[in-house]
Structure 1
Amino acid sequence: MAKRPLNVGLIGGGGGAFIVQPHQRAIHFDGTRRVTVAALHPDAKIAQSEAEQWDYPIKGYDSYDEMIEQESAKPVGERIDYALIVTPNHVHFDPAIKCVRAGIPVFCEKPLTINLDEAKQLVAAVKENNVPFAVSHTYLGHWTSRFSRFIVTSGLLGDVRWVDSYYLQGWLAERTEDSGNAQAEWRVDPKKSGASLCGGDIGTHALMQLRYVTGLNVQRVQAHLETYVKGRMLDDHFTSYVELSNGGKGMVRASQIAIGHKNDLGIEVNGTKGTLSWRQEFPEEVKIQLPGQPDRTYFRGAVSANDGFLGDLPEDLMAEPNVPAGHPEAFHDAFARLHRCFEQDVRLYNDGKPFDCDGNLYANIDDGYTGMAFIEAAVKSSQDGNVWVDM
């Protein structure tokens, strides 16, 4: 028999928030999940009004406190199966920890919290209550990110020597926050964004891409946070030199004042046997360069095992693409893959069975904590004169 669709509750997402739209599309992508309830805004009247005007019928709650209290009192099958938190950064911690303590799994936008102390508390709550928890690092959902991870962690490039992981945008090159752009307004406010604007907003994505693709962790950070737009209290340009857990080195860098760049997340991994490169704006391709050989480009959906570089390929990895090569997967597909994988663990949790949340298929609570530890170390390094700071 067909499985019951999981019920998902939105926390945040009102007021024209961009990020809720790809999430809610991804939730409905497979027909096995659906948004049923929402607390869309901190103002109860606005929350109810926006729920009434939603694109499809949902139950609106006055607040996330009301939603968590009422939904957690319902039996499995009637309650929400997980909550999706798409609020500004300063409203991640409170609803997340309340959901976790109520036994409700959480899919939370990044960064995890606005400081390391909150992250520590949230990690402890997740471990204590043994609840599935995902952090929305979207770009891990691209099949080519998973393929890149397989290549690097299988040793096909040899030992990792150097990694350049970056995320470049240009939308904050001027004072966008003065033009009524709500997305810019909260991001430049340290009370709502945290200690770093550029690093927290997109630098954490670059860090996660490095850690996921290489399977390595960052041990030490030497960072330089800069503010180019006059009057801003937080960085809009972020550069860090990092030491990796295998002794290799790398850069995690980000900019939101790089005019002409739109959503340019990319990574290059230099190993002792070859180089891998990948860019989010060309998400169907993984490029490999080997000494003395023509460059190779692998396309999602058109990868063959035992081709002279690749050996055998994992069956589960090869089974993931659901459209043929040349029919591009993209941003929404990446979101959907993350929700699809999280769904598997939520269903196991509902059935009282062990679940993984091991970071192989989506970013977990420990990845979220690492992102906050990285930002704290980078800010300290920059403030102290670009000294090395241990993670």
Structure 2
Amino acid sequence: MSERPLNVGLIGGGGGAFIVQPHQRAIHFDGTRRVTVAALHPDPEVAQAEAAAWEYPLKGYDSYDDLIKQEAAKPLGERIDYALIVTPNHVHFDPAIKCVQAGIPVFCEKPLTLNIDEAKQLVDAVKEKNVPFAVSHTYLGHWTSRFARFIVKSGLLGDVRWVDSYYLQGWLAARTEDSGNAQAEWRVDPKKSGASLCGGDIGTHALMQLRYVTGLDVTRVQAHLETFVGGRSLDDHFTTYVELSNGGRGLVRASQIAIGHKNDLGIEINGTKGSLVWRQEFPEELTIRLPDQPDRTYFRGSVSANDGFLKDLPEELMAEPNIPPGHPEAFHDAFARLHRCFEQDVRAYNDGKPFECDGSKYANIDDGYMGMAFIQASVKSSQEGNVWVNMDC
């Protein structure tokens, strides 16, 4: 008999929030998870009205406090198996720590919290309660991100010397927040977004892509946080020069005023033996550049071991693609892969068994903390005249 589907509770996601849509599609992707309850809005009346009008049946709660309290009191199998937090940044910490303290696993949107003090408290709580915790860094879910990580960590590029990891957008090149765009309005507000707009919103994605693919950490930063659109109190352009844990160097950069760019996350890694190039807007492919050889472009679903560059390939990695090349996986598939991997750890947790939650399949609580440490160090560096600042890790 198949295992019962896991029950998932939404915290946030009402009011037309974009990010809840790919998440809920990803949750339902495999038929082994389902959204059953939700606290969709801080106003109880709106929360209940939106739950009643949701595209599929779910139980609406007046608040996330009610959701957590009532769900935690139910027996396993009836309560939610994990909570998905898709609120603005300033409402990540409170529901997350309350879920953890109630023994409910959490899948939380990035950045982890509003500031590093909250992040430290949340890390301590997760480790004390030993609860599965995921941070939603979507692009780790692309198969080619995992393939790139295997290539670099296997030493096929040699020692990493230089990395350029970036995320470029253009949607805030004008005062979008003045046009009634709710997603822009809260992002430009320091009380809701945190100490950095561009860095927190998308610079943390560029950092996570660097750390995940290379397996290296950032040890110190020299940052330039800039605001090009008048009247904003937070950065809309974010550039950091970074030192890596192996002695290499790199750039972690982001912009939301780069007109023409949509969701242009990319990474180039230069090693002593070769280079790797990957862009999430073309997530089916990955390019390897070797000395005095033509570029090698690998496509998901069409990769073979022992081809003159690659050696043996892990069976688990090669088994992940489930559709042939030329039928593209995409954004929703990346989300689904993250939820699928998190599901494995939640099921182990429910059964009282050990679980990994080690950052190899999705970003974990430590990765979330590193994102907040990166923002803190970058803001400090920029405010103090672009000096080098050590990461608080």
TM-score category (smaller protein): over 0.9
Counterpart of 1:309 in structure 2 is 309
2:313 is paired with a residue of what secondary structure? coil
Q: Distance in 1 between matches of 2:50 and 2:5?
A: 24
Deviations 1:23-61 (A, max 9, x none): 000000000000000000000000000000000000000
Counterpart of 1:210 in structure 2 is 210
1:281-296 correspondence to structure 2 within 5 Å: 281-296=281-296
1:30-109 correspondence to structure 2 within 5 Å: 30-109=30-109
Counterpart of 1:358 in structure 2 is 358
- Say if 2:169 is the partner of 1:173: no
Counterpart of 1:124 in structure 2 is 124
| 2:117 counterpart letter in structure 1 | D
| 2:115 counterpart letter in structure 1 | N
1:355 is paired with a residue of what secondary structure? coil
Structure 1 residue 330 displacement after superposition: 0.2
Counterpart of 1:164 in structure 2 is 164
Q: Distance in 2 between matches of 1:296 and 1:94?
A: 47
- Say if 2:242 is the partner of 1:242: yes
| 2:28 counterpart letter in structure 1 | H
Deviations 1:194-221 (A, max 9, x none): 0000000000000000000000000000
Q: Distance in 2 between matches of 1:314 and 1:164?
A: 27
| 1:67 counterpart letter in structure 2 | L
| 2:47 counterpart letter in structure 1 | A
Q: Distance in 2 between matches of 1:306 and 1:3?
A: 38
Identity of aligned residues (%): 87
Give TM-score scaled by structure 1 length: 1.00
Counterpart of 1:9 in structure 2 is 9
1:309-348 correspondence to structure 2 within 5 Å: 309-348=309-348
Q: Distance in 2 between matches of 1:108 and 1:346?
A: 14
Deviations 1:113-136 (A, max 9, x none): 010000000000000000000000
Q: Distance in 1 between matches of 2:281 and 2:329?
A: 12
Structure 1 residues without counterparts, runs of 5 or longer: none
Structure 1 residue 193 displacement after superposition: 0.1
Q: Distance in 1 between matches of 2:2 and 2:74?
A: 22
Structure 2 residues without counterparts, runs of 5 or longer: none
| 2:342 counterpart letter in structure 1 | F
Structure 1 residue 322 displacement after superposition: 1.0
Structure 1 runs of 4+ with >2 Å offset: none
Q: Distance in 1 between matches of 2:195 and 2:321?
A: 38
Counterpart of 1:254 in structure 2 is 254
Counterpart of 1:28 in structure 2 is 28
1:158 is paired with a residue of what secondary structure? coil
Q: Distance in 1 between matches of 2:41 and 2:235?
A: 28
| 1:321 counterpart letter in structure 2 | P
Q: Distance in 1 between matches of 2:126 and 2:207?
A: 22
| 1:263 counterpart letter in structure 2 | N
RMSD of aligned C-alpha atoms?
A: 0.2
Give TM-score scaled by structure 2 length: 0.99
1:288 is paired with a residue of what secondary structure? strand
| 1:95 counterpart letter in structure 2 | P
| 2:15 counterpart letter in structure 1 | G
1:378 is paired with a residue of what secondary structure? helix
> How many pairs were matched up?
391
Counterpart of 2:275 in structure 1 is 275
